[in-house]
Structure 1
Amino acid sequence: SSSSSSPLSQPTITRLSPNKRMSLPMDIRLPPEFLKKLQMESPQPCKPLSRMSRRASLSDIGFGKLETYVKLGKLGEGTYATVFKGRSKLTENLVALKEIRLEHEEGAPCTAIREVSLLKNLKHANIVTLHDIIHTDRCLTLVFEYLDSDLKQYLDNCGNLMSMHNVKIFMFQLLRGLSYCHKRKILHRDLKPQNLLINEKGELKLADFGLARAKSVPTKTYSNEVVTLWYRPPDVLLGSTEYSTPIDMWGVGCILYEMATGRPMFPGSTVKEELHLVFRLMGTPTEETWPGISANEEFKSYLFPQYRAQALINHVPRLDTEGIDLLSALLLYDTKKRISAEASLTHTYFLSLGENIHSLPDTSSVFSLKEVQLQKDPGHRSSHSCNPETPRRNKADVNL
């Protein structure tokens, strides 16, 4: 900010590195009405604040303090955290409070620290915003923007029959957020409909980066629930630890199928069953479709029958030719050939969304373009339209 204006008149206070206890957020957007109130109460001398006094002023405002937030009810429980709906006393906005229990000997779990360090650097319209970080002896609380639904609930509420135009808009938003992550060498690694949050405007945002960059994919959660295998690529199911960006793209394909058909693509309950479902539809892999597969000991031990690949169009009749082409490119066994998020965005499937959608700034919503609008979903329930304006039940299946 220029020295002629008070630094607090800037809506964003940036480059604020959190202190060692991570009690302050990296980048805070203060609402204009709150800034006015603040300036009326404390007219500042017109000179730039030092980093120390800037940090102090944020602390005075109430950032990094638990008493700044009111808990409104539990949204879900997961591996290492509990998520509550809350409200900020500062801004009156709804927030999601993710409370991470700290084991005394160990301090914060590495997954939590990883999630914080990744998320505080991600600023994108299709990635959930981390507003604040609060650190106490027993708890690390991450304060996220609140979104009132997720893709699983959205599908439930429209009787699993989405408008194909809406499928395309959700798909584009998912790929947009993912492409931003992948360019920064960040993998999500746990893509599933429950981790794609959706607000009343129809904006879709990636959430739950708890597994991002973790070295192995757990099979059980903290509360001993089974982690779903449905969106996991066959290379990972067969023991590959070569994790790179294609790991997320298989899940994107499964999610496209699920939005277009209203049912999960490969709902296996064990690794063997999951692989069997994949091979039955996509064909049992061969050296041609998956170089090196014939040397994979795990694959050989299962003794799968030789299935021929089926035509996807017979399974996803509502998806147009371009959509089927994109789906096939996402579900390739050979990770080197599987389409990337960035390449997917320019696929002909998205041509109908227009040219301007490709030149949006990272932090602008696709709905800032007047030509991009959701339609009414055909399968809406009697009381529940799947129109995103309709309020939905507030249950979050938060698998953390």
Structure 2
Amino acid sequence: MLQNKPSRSLSHHTKITDYMKKFIETNYRVSIPSSMKQSRQNKQNRSIDKTSNVFKVFEWLKQVDLPNVQQNVCLKQSQHNKQEKERELLILKALQKYHHPCIIELRHHFMNNNQTNMLFDFMPLNLTQVIQGHRQRNKEIPLILIKSFAFQLLRAITQLHECQICHRNIQPDNILINNNTFELRLADFSQAKFLIEGEDSINNVNNVKYRAPELLLGTTKYNNSIDLWAYGCVIYEMWTLNAVFEGNTPEEVIAEIIKILGVPKKHELQSMKSQFEDIKMPQIKKKEWEFSETMEFIKQFIKYNPTYRGKAQQYLNHSFFKDVLSGQIRLNGRELPNIKNLKPYELEILRLE
């Protein structure tokens, strides 16, 4: 029996200032409806997800005139420190030239009161809402839809890694979904970073449930494979409608990981560059995962040794995506996103030229 979990607010909302209202109306020729102003009732109904990064998002369903396209948009207000704001903008601008269909694209940005305001295409849902909706109805997500979402997310991760960018915050909250077209876009680059080999980076990234074990064990020298660990966790959650490693602290999550992978051996601790090679691990009986096509695919990413998780691009032509790569896939008569708009490097990997 699938257990219902309390829903979490996925967006922080803020009142649009007169400056922002004027800016948007002037530059995008759109009138901000008065209903957007946050009422006392709205404040009571909207809780804040304490596990998310500190940022505010304001979304509205309103057609605006963007360059060459009619599109609904959302406004994100970033209140990170100066270095983090500059890094996020740098990465978003670097990604603009690729126009990747599986990555949210920055449309415009402006500063106001030391806040970075960024305009993106509007996406109605995120993956957390999709998972929660199915859990509440006690209904599994169709496997073909899981495969479609997994393929699109992998395309996004591959593009980032081709650019030497590590997202560092892959979780269902940051995976946006168009419920009409089933298109997926990876969003929230507030923790993303150009990783340089040998350079120290903070390890307190991502929600702890999706945090790779090397981060939980204190390493500050890691690589893009932490995104693949999180990717495996996300697919598992779509498959079972529950997080693979439940916990609110690093210690709790490590205990859950040990239940699946066993106590890490010395060579595995060394491969993770753990700062705690001599730490005494809890002796917990290891569970065996059930065998299925989906679980075998997920297990490729849930490994202690970061090297053994492989590279994102090598999985694009994995047999798990055979149905997706066949060209036409449908769900209840509705066509799912197929392999259109592939980039040259993707075509080369898939040998579809």
**Does the 8 A contact of 2:214 with 2:274 survive in 1?**
no
The residue that corresponds to 2:188 in the other structure is: 208
Counterpart pick for 1:266 among 237, 245, 248: 245
**Does the 8 A contact of 2:272 with 2:304 survive in 1?**
no
Q: Does 1:351 align with 2:322?
A: yes
Percent identity over the alignment is 25
CA separation of 1:73 and 1:351: change in aligned 2, threshold 3 A: farther
Once residues 24 and 230 of structure 2 are traced to their aligned partners in structure 1, the CA distance between those partners, rounded to angstroms, is 39
Counterpart pick for 2:71 among 89, 93, 97: 93
Q: RMSD value over aligned CA atoms?
A: 3.2
Once residues 295 and 113 of structure 1 are traced to their aligned partners in structure 2, the CA distance between those partners, rounded to angstroms, is 29
**Does the 8 A contact of 1:163 with 1:375 survive in 2?**
no
Runs of 5+ unmatched residues, structure 2: 1-22, 39-45, 195-200, 338-353
One-letter code aligned to 1:298: F
**Does the 8 A contact of 2:323 with 2:329 survive in 1?**
no
One-letter code aligned to 2:143: M
The residue that corresponds to 2:330 in the other structure is: 373
TM-score by length of 2: 0.71
Which has the larger helix fraction? 2
Give the superposition deviation at 1:247: 0.9
| Number of residues of Structure 1 aligned to a counterpart in Structure 2 | 285
Give the superposition deviation at 1:372: 2.8
Give the superposition deviation at 1:63: 9.8
**Does the 8 A contact of 2:78 with 2:117 survive in 1?**
yes
The residue that corresponds to 1:82 in the other structure is: 56
Once residues 86 and 47 of structure 2 are traced to their aligned partners in structure 1, the CA distance between those partners, rounded to angstroms, is 20
Once residues 272 and 78 of structure 2 are traced to their aligned partners in structure 1, the CA distance between those partners, rounded to angstroms, is 43
**Does the 8 A contact of 2:153 with 2:185 survive in 1?**
yes
**Does the 8 A contact of 2:102 with 2:156 survive in 1?**
yes
**Does the 8 A contact of 2:28 with 2:65 survive in 1?**
no
Of the structure 1 ranges 143-152 and 119-128, higher mean CA displacement relative to structure 2 is found in 119-128
The residue that corresponds to 2:345 in the other structure is: none
Runs of 5+ unmatched residues, structure 1: 1-60, 103-107, 220-226, 315-319, 356-368, 378-386, 389-400
**Does the 8 A contact of 1:353 with 1:372 survive in 2?**
yes
- After TM superposition, list the pairs within 5 Å mapping 1:161-200 onto structure 2: 161-199=140-178, 200=180
| Higher RCO, 1 vs 2 (CA within 8 Å, ≥6 residues apart) | 1
The residue that corresponds to 2:105 in the other structure is: 129
Give the superposition deviation at 1:165: 1.1
Instruction: Report the secondary structure of 2:242's partner residue.
Output: coil
Q: Does 1:301 align with 2:279?
A: yes
Instruction: Report the secondary structure of 2:290's partner residue.
Output: helix
CA separation of 1:120 and 1:372: change in aligned 2, threshold 3 A: farther
Counterpart pick for 2:132 among 131, 156, 160: 156
Q: Does 1:256 align with 2:227?
A: no
Give the superposition deviation at 1:139: 2.9
**Does the 8 A contact of 2:211 with 2:229 survive in 1?**
yes
The residue that corresponds to 2:305 in the other structure is: 334
Once residues 293 and 313 of structure 1 are traced to their aligned partners in structure 2, the CA distance between those partners, rounded to angstroms, is 27
Instruction: Report the secondary structure of 1:216's partner residue.
Output: coil
**Does the 8 A contact of 2:105 with 2:120 survive in 1?**
yes
Give the superposition deviation at 1:67: 7.7
**Does the 8 A contact of 1:98 with 1:143 survive in 2?**
yes
Find the structure with the greater CA-based Rg. Answer: 1
Instruction: Report the secondary structure of 1:98's partner residue.
Output: strand
